[in-house]
Chain A
Amino acid sequence: AQSVTQLDSQVPVFEEAPVELRCNYSSSVSVYLFWYVQYPNQGLQLLLKYLSGSTLVKGINGFEAEFNKSQTSFHLRKPSVHISDTAEYFCAVSDPGSEKLDFGKGTKLTVNP
């Protein structure tokens, strides 16, 4: 099983500011990496995923993430956030072919006007 660390439990930012949500995982030869978003009273929605190939992954709603194998990180970024981005963001990791998806504890992003 992977250990997934989301270093910031809460991140407050102002609207139109850039944001980075950090995610680190325990080392492995190869991994699949995911970011999910959960809006209040809803389930988890897939934002983006890294399975292989380019280390810079673009997702929905203007988010992107970069896989850094040497630092075992998969940080999520957005250059300019909106009020509607207020939600909880979860990083998840799995070993290729495994049914188990290991989640971090989540980061609550609050975008203020």
Chain B
Amino acid sequence: ETGVTQTPRHLVMGMTNKKSLKCEQHLGHNAMYWYKQSAKKPLELMFVYNFKEQTENNSVPSRFSPECPNSSHLFLHLHTLQPEDSALYLCASSQDGGSTQYFGPGTRLTVL
């Protein structure tokens, strides 16, 4: 695998479920990001990890919980989500915190 991969590509969950999104980057980068892409809105930065340390939490509700066990992997743990959380969740990575970001294909999340 090359680049940035995300699994699953599609996820349907109920409001009481707990699920996790996974992102893996094969680029040797040390910074990783979660974004939310909703219809008719700009991409919203959710979290940034630099060298496994969280450096940005963009006022994201606590029902979203990120985890970065190493510089190649990033998770987004989901619990008790709301229908308005339905969106495309994109992961990205970069060599350093301020350099060019490379994106994965995204996970299309639907909350029923």
Contacts and interface: CB of A to CB of B under 8 A. Distances in A.
Interface residues of B, number: 25
Given A44-B90, A49-B100, A94-B98, A99 B43 contact: no
Interface in B1-49: 4, 6, 31, 33, 40-43, 45, 48
Size category of the A interface is: 20 to 34
A105 B106 contact: no
Interface in B30-87: 31, 33, 40-43, 45, 48, 50, 55-56
A58 to B, nearest CB: 16
A46 B98 contact: no
Contacts of B100: 34, 46, 49
Nearest to A98: B98
Nearest to B58: A100
Given A43-B90, A96-B98, A103 B42 contact: yes
Of listed A36, A42, A46, A101, residue having the most chain B CB within 10 A: A101
Interface of B: 4, 6, 31, 33, 40-43, 45, 48, 50, 55-56, 90, 92, 97-98, 100-106, 108
